[in-house]
Amino acid sequence: AQSERDLELLRSVWEMRKEWEDHWNEWKFGKFASIDVGVMEAFAQAFSKRIYKLQKEVKGWKALDTLKDAVDQFKKMLPLILDL
């Protein structure tokens, strides 16, 4: 039963990773004039909350830690984008 739960959690982590990468690529390769920083910020905040909830269930998973780092780095970059 525990291994099934672990697999479910692992699947969630990788699905979140894919979702983040898809959004990141959309923003990265989209037209600068059409960027909505508010939407980007709201998505990053909501995503951070999802990661935080998942981190309560799993500890020390490198894939989740890497995802969290990517989202945190993105959130730090948002004010720079807003100023452009």
pLDDT digits (tens, 9 = 90+) for 31-46: 888 888 899 999 999 9
* Cα dihedral across residues 66, 68, 73, 78: positive or negative: positive
Residue 60 above 90 pLDDT? no
**According to the model, what pLDDT value does residue 59 have?**
82
**According to the model, what pLDDT value does residue 33 have?**
80
Tokens for 77, please give them.
């970059």
What's the mean pLDDT when you consider all of the chain? 92
> Are the beta carbons of 70 and 20 closer than 8 angstroms?
yes
Integer-rounded Cα radius of gyration of the chain = 14
Q: Does the pTM of the predicted model rise above 0.75?
A: yes
Given pLDDT bands bounded at 50, 70 and 90, which one contains residue 84?
confident
48-72: average pLDDT: 94
